[in-house]
């Protein structure tokens, strides 16, 4: 059970009963480099036998602990989870014969392409929305502040999909180069889409992110898959790892490694946290955008990485790759990944562009319709094999997004 939150940078603690605890109380516009992480009581994660993963894992989730801290009956929490949770079922996790044969390694794949909005992103965002719905049911709010997100891919689609289910207003900040057809899809879901151009004199980084931060300062809810903007995305995001662990145990397979693609970093943090230390996290980025690997190398064995955030986590210049969903110029949740790398005995992996392309072709030629971003974890495995680093036991990859 989650008992509260702690900032991974300054150590500030926040009670689980605190409403709208999106960010560390010590974070400011000038000092935003803080991130709240859920603190559990150490009890084992034991899911209910329910096909809805939000219901099954509710007792290990922060949104449920928040509800119970305010005296909400468990039956009501289940009702709320079912209200928003259509489609949140356990996604497949099975041995992938084609990849196993091609690599000579026993590869198990978690397939998120059947998840809500076609990727893992809704897993993160639904925790934020569940908190909002619980707070609303408790009478802690009298109006709905608009949701806001900076994204032009799967996170935007997941956010707009979830918001449309409960008719919650949402603004999506996107770069100017977003695909028109994708924008039309967001429009159909009722999102207010705003294209953000870069202007002379703008600070380094993504202009859509800068616009997102401004609207949050004006009172919008950070409906974000980035922990520093909303730590609640690190709550239900862990369901993917919890499911994998339960499915691996049921299949009797011991996983040596899990290869997880890294953009903003919440996915790798949550997947590894849920899966546990038995599988070493191999955090995969492309040669065209690898701020995490650069930060980890600069950090070394420093026992207090949070104080060096601004020094070592620098915006990547001109990110580029076919795996365009992991081109975040900063790895916002890098501290969570560093914690998981150290706890699990993992490391970072950089895949060159040829390997990113080869991994995408290998998976899709085998009959799976997965995006280049969604196969980037496979590129990490191929990179290790090419370098002569062959695992001794089974490994896991995640097909994190459907091909569009």
Query: pTM for this one?
Result: 0.94
Buried b (16+ CB within 10 A) or exposed e, 100-139: bebbebbbbbbbbbebbbbbbbbbbbbbbbbbbbbbbbee
Buried b (16+ CB within 10 A) or exposed e, 78-98: bebbeebbeebbbbebeebee
Q: How far is CA 238 from each of CA 85, 184, 311, rounded to the nearest angstrom?
A: 16, 31, 29
pLDDT recorded at residue 180: 80
In the chain, the domains with their CATH numbers are 93-118+235-399 (3.40.50.1100)
Instruction: Name the pairing type of β-strands 347-351 and 280-286.
Output: parallel
Q: How far apart are the first and last CA of the chain?
A: 37
With CA atoms as reference, report the closest residue to 166 among 135, 195, 201, 121.
135
**How many Cα atoms sit within 13 Å of 157 on the Cβ side?**
20
With CA atoms as reference, report the closest residue to 164 among 140, 211, 129.
129
Tell me how far apart the alpha carbons of residues 251 and 284 are, in angstroms, rounded to a whole number.
Answer: 26
Q: What is the pLDDT along the chain (404 residues), one digit of tens a residue?
A: 999 999 999 999 999 999 999 999 999 988 999 999 999 999 999 999 999 999 999 999 999 999 999 999 999 999 999 999 999 999 999 999 999 999 999 999 999 999 999 999 999 999 999 999 999 999 998 899 999 999 878 899 999 999 999 999 999 998 877 778 788 889 999 999 988 887 776 666 678 888 898 999 999 999 999 999 999 999 999 999 999 999 999 999 999 999 999 999 999 999 999 999 989 999 999 999 999 999 999 999 999 999 999 999 999 999 999 999 999 989 999 999 999 999 999 999 999 999 999 999 999 998 999 999 999 999 999 999 999 999 999 999 999 999 87
């Amino acid at each position: 059970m989650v008992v509260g939150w702690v900032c991974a940078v300054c150590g500030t603690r926040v009670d689980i009963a605190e409403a709208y605890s999106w960010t560390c109380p010590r974070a400011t516009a000038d000092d935003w480099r803080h991130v709240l992480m859920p603190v559990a009581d150490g009890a084992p994660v034991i899911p209910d036998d329910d096909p809805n993963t939000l219901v099954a894992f509710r007792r290990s989730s922060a949104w449920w602990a928040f509800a119970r801290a305010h005296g909400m009956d468990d039956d009501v929490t289940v009702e709320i989870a079912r209200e928003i949770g259509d489609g949140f079922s356990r996604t497949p996790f099975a041995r992938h014969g084609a990849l196993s044969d091609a690599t000579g390694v026993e590869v198990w794949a978690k397939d998120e392409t059947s998840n809500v909005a076609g990727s893992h992103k809704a897993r993160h965002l639904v925790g934020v929305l569940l908190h909002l719905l619980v707070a609303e049911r408790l009478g802690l709010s009298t109006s709905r502040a608009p949701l806001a997100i900076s994204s032009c891919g799967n996170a935007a689609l997941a956010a707009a999909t979830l918001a449309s289910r409960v008719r919650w207003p949402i603004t999506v900040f996107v770069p100017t180069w977003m695909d028109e057809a994708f924008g039309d899809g967001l429009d159909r879901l009722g999102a207010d889409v705003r294209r953000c151009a870069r202007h002379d004199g703008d600070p380094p980084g993504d202009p859509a992110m800068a616009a997102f931060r401004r609207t949050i300062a004006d009172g919008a809810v950070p409906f974000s898959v980035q922990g520093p903007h909303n730590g609640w995305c690190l709550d239900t995001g862990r369901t993917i790892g919890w499911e994998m662990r339960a499915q691996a145990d049921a299949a009797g397979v011991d996983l040596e490694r899990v290869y997880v693609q890294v953009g903003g970093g919440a996915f790798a943090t949550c997947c590894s946290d849920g899966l546990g230390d038995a599988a070493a996290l191999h955090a995969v980025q492309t040669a065209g955008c690898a701020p995490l690997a650069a930060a980890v190398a600069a950090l070394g064995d420093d026992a207090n990485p949070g104080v060096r955030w601004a020094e070592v986590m620098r915006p990547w210049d001109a990110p580029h790759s076919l795996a365009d969903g992991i081109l975040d110029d900063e790895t916002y949740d890098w501290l969570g990944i560093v914690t998981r790398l150290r706890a699990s005995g993992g490391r970072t992996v950089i895949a060159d562009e040829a390997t990113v392309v080869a991994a995408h072709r290998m998976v899709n030629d085998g009959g799976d319709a997965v995006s280049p971003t969604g196969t980037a974890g496979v590129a990490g495995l191929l990179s290790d094999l090419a370098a002569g680093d062959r695992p001794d036991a089974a490994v896991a990859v995640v097909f994190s997004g459907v091909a569009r």
